[in-house]
Amino acid sequence: MKVVYWFLPFFSVIMPWVVHAQGIQQVRATARQDLQDATQRLASLRETIEKEKIPLAQKVASQERDAAAKRKDLDRKLRLRDNRDANLLQLKEEVQKNERELESSLRLLKDYARSWRQGTPPAEQALWNQRLSQSLSQDQGPMGQSIQAYLDILQLSILATHEQAGGLSFPGDAIVPPEGMREDGIFWAIGPVTFFSGAEGSAGFIEKPFHSDQFSSVDLSADSVKRLEPSRLQKASDASSEAIALALSTPTDTLAIIPLDPSLGKAFVMEGGELSLLEELQKGGIWIYPILFFAAISLLIAVYKAFQILGVPTPSELASLDGSYRGPFELLRKTARSYQGNKPEILEEILYEGIIDFQVRLEKALPLIAVTAATAPLLGLLGTVTGMIDVFRQITNFANPENSELARGISEALVTTKFGLITAIPSLIAHALLSRRLQGVVSKLEGFAARLVHLKREQSSVAEKANSTDEPTA
């Protein structure tokens, strides 16, 4: 029993090690078998991979080539798209540029048509207004149609110019001054000048239209060109009227002489716009009257003092106590001769007082001429300032006053300055000349008096010597 008890512990200790050893062997065998199986599968798999590697590589290479080709095709299409967009933008800019150029050309054609219409005399407009209206009636559609309409007007103006260059004769009526009655007759246009010869004997130049025409600020239309202003005759001189009437009644292919107006009617306008002296004075306003007053006073004084100063006779020979002179020189001689004193200084003072009295009499009212020369420009400037104030008041009251009205107001404002200078300049010259002449007369009087004092002193010395020689003899 003891042996059994001893063996049992031993067996219980040994058996686990034996069982464990057997399990390790099985595990090793299993693992070795599994390793062999895995090695076989790996070899089989490697063999399979080796077999499939080349086709896969070929397929990948083919796919890469397809991808590169598609990428290249995509880049090409992107470039085409960008180029197409750029071309579209460039084309759009060119279209806009061409449209602007067409609009500018259309504006130029419209300006030319308006200018030609304004520059054509009313009588001659009646010849072209129907065709002009037909062309303008087409200016209702797109830009191309408008351009074509104004190109037709351009051709019409060229035709009209060609007709004018060779002389264009046509019937019509004109308003004849001064009654303002219409008179039928014949017009003859040669270049920019239009002549008229009426059935009742009136003849002359047709008034040239300027930019004050009623159509100057509006676009031409098919209806506006049909409204014609009447032609107005500008009366020329009798000789010119007769020459025009004779030339227009001369048969064709016959030499005729006709007067021309190089100013195209401006000379008649300027001649009609010239003011008379009275009208110009009336435009000067209230300040023109003191200027005229000073001018009249200065003129009267200048004339009177000129006769007075220039009428003083000057001796041509030396001063002498026994001579014969005129005017203040004779008065000085008589004063010196009648002096009985023995002191020449007193005689000199007496003569100097006489010269002073004579100088004061000659200078009397002469300073008023100098006052006029100084005051007249100031009065003219005052009138100008007053007139300019009225002009600026007109500008303030009216938003867009006419240029002619402003020019007329400024012209009226400058009238006083003009007459102020006209008054001042002659007054200044007259005062300077008369003052210098007066100083010359006074200088001659002083020299004449000094010579008389010297002669009187010599005469007194001779008398004293004679008296001194007579006293010892007695």
CB environment 434-464: b (16+ within 10 A), e (fewer)? bbebbeebbeebeebbebbbebbbeebeeee
pLDDT band at 467 (very low <50, low <70, confident <90, very high): low
My answer on whether 215 and 286 are in the same domain is no
Q: What is the pLDDT of residues 407-459, one digit of tens each?
A: 666 766 788 888 889 999 999 999 999 999 888 888 888 888 888 778 777 77
My answer on whether 134 and 179 are in the same domain is yes
Question: Is-contact 205 226, C-beta < 8 A?
Answer: no
Number of domains in the chain: 2
Where does residue 218 fall: left (phi above 0), alpha (psi -120 to 50 degrees), or beta otherwise? beta
Between 146 and 456, the more confident residue is 146
Task: For strands 168-176 and 181-190, give the pairing.
Answer: antiparallel
Distance CA 314, CA 446 (A): 12
Domain closes at, from 249, 273, 297: 273
Name the percent of the chain lying above pLDDT 90: 4
My answer on whether 373 and 453 are in the same domain is yes
My answer on whether 310 and 369 are in the same domain is yes
Domain closes at, from 230, 257, 273: 273
Domain that includes residue 141, residue range: 120-273
Distance CA 452, CA 335 (A): 10
Flag whether 145 is in a domain.
Answer: yes
Flag whether 133 is in a domain.
Answer: yes
Distance CA 410, CA 387 (A): 7
Domain closes at, from 273, 297, 321: 273
- Token pair 């007695």 is at which residue? 474
As a whole number, mean pLDDT of residues 116-131 equals 78
pLDDT band at 474 (very low <50, low <70, confident <90, very high): very low
As a whole number, mean pLDDT of residues 209-218 equals 49
Burial class (CB in 10 A: 0-12, 13-18, 19+), 47: exposed
pLDDT at 191 over 80: no
Distance CA 174, CA 183 (A): 6
pLDDT in the model for residue 426: 92
pLDDT in the model for residue 25: 81
My answer on whether 290 and 166 are in the same domain is no
Flag whether 58 is in a domain.
Answer: no
Flag whether 422 is in a domain.
Answer: yes
Secondary structure tally for the chain: helices H, strands E:
11, 5
My answer on whether 424 and 342 are in the same domain is yes
pLDDT in the model for residue 78: 85
